Amino acid sequence: MPLALPDLQAAFAAHLAGADRPDLAAGVLGDAIPSAARLRVYRHHVQESLASALAATFPTVQAVVGSDFFRALARAFVAENLPRQPVLAEYGEDFPAFVAGYEPARGLPYLADVARLDWALNAAFHASTDERLAAADLAALPADRLLSLRLVLASGTALVSSAHPLDRIWAASQPGAPEGTVDLDAAGAHLLVLRRPDDAAFVVLSPPEARFVDGIALGKTLEEAAAWVDGEFDLTAGFARLLNLGAFAALQ
């Protein structure tokens, strides 16, 4: 009996995910190219094309580990995490967590943070360019109103904090980067990822600036976020810098 279409698609889906489905192969015509080899063409394409999609979204991870290691890592991820929808730019949200638990990468404790940075840059690249808050929008506000504002981070803006020198690891992994070594024991970094008009990029924040942005993201007012910062923080200068970067969404 041939498989009904829902059963055939279920069996094919299981085959693509790595299962052995003789019931599916039995219904596939084979000749000098046996049915099993024909089915393998599809499984191979699914795995390799999704691994390539991950390489496009996580270029820095690939640059750090090399393409052979990356392929193995990506295939292992794909086997357990097929996409849930067809937009590949939105595929891979769970990849950084997978990298963190990937046994062969245990010797690279910063690799999951590199993946988080790549994901944030990818998300920012695909974020909308809705209007940003500008200094002029606030000029008319009295100081007490300004301090009690609860601002929203602009679309694509994300803080990536790492215990490792993530900015230097990223820079050393770019195409054409000068030869050299990164001191992996150097201090950690706080990177603010932003959608710019034609690309996505990040800037390095000081620890107080990062803590301030964190406070804003948690829904604190400017005054509360500033008070939440431990240590030296010049609210006027820090806020002006973030405003100029276009880090905040326009007021609703």
Partner 1 sequence: MISAAGIGLRSPHLAEIEIDRPAAGFLEIHAENYLASSPALAAVERLRADYAFSVHAVGLSLGSCDGLDEEHLARVAALVKRLEPALVSDHLSWSTFGGRYFNDLLPLPYSEEALAVVVDNVQRLQDALGRRVAVENPSCYLGFAQSTLSEPAFLSELARRSGCALLLDVNNIAVTAHNLRLEARDWLSLPGEAIVQYHLAGHAVNDADGEPILIDDHGSRVKDGVWALFGDVVRRFGPRPTLIEWDTDLPALDVLLDEAARADRITSTAGGLHAARAA
Among 204, 173, 174, residue whose Cα is nearest residue 189: 204
Stretch that binds partner 1, among 21-29, 109-117, 222-230, 241-249 (CB under 8 A): 21-29
Binding residue for partner 1, selected from 85, 181, 236, 252, defined by CB under 8 A: 85
Regarding 38 and contact with partner 1 (CB under 8 A), the answer is yes
Beta bridge partners of 162: 189
Residue 176 makes CB contacts below 8 A (sequence gap 6+) with none
Binding residue for partner 1, selected from 49, 148, 174, 244, defined by CB under 8 A: 49
CB 239 within 8 A of CB 225: no
CB 54 within 8 A of CB 92: yes
Regarding 42 and contact with partner 1 (CB under 8 A), the answer is yes
Binding residue for partner 1, selected from 18, 23, 37, 150, defined by CB under 8 A: 37
Binding residue for partner 1, selected from 5, 136, 139, 143, defined by CB under 8 A: 5
The type of residue at 66 is G
CA distance 106 to 142: 53
Chain Cα centroid distance, residue 124: 9
Regarding 250 and contact with partner 1 (CB under 8 A), the answer is no
Binding residue for partner 1, selected from 19, 23, 28, 250, defined by CB under 8 A: 28
Regarding 31 and contact with partner 1 (CB under 8 A), the answer is yes
CB 158 within 8 A of CB 193: yes
Regarding 84 and contact with partner 1 (CB under 8 A), the answer is yes
CA distance 153 to 116: 18
Least distance between partner 1 and beta carbon 31 (Å):
7
Q: Map the footprint of partner 1 across residues 187-216, applying CB under 8 A.
A: 197-199
Least distance between partner 1 and beta carbon 74 (Å):
13
Regarding 4 and contact with partner 1 (CB under 8 A), the answer is yes
Regarding 53 and contact with partner 1 (CB under 8 A), the answer is yes
Least distance between partner 1 and beta carbon 93 (Å):
13
Among 145, 148, 136, 132, residue whose Cα is nearest residue 225: 148
Provide the 10 A C-beta neighbour count for residue 85: 7
Stretch that binds partner 1, among 80-88, 166-174, 183-191, 225-233 (CB under 8 A): 80-88
Provide the 10 A C-beta neighbour count for residue 27: 13
CA distance 96 to 93: 7
Footprint of partner 1 (CB under 8 A): 2-6, 8-10, 12-13, 16, 27-29, 31-35, 37-42, 45-46, 49-50, 53, 82-90, 125-129, 197-199
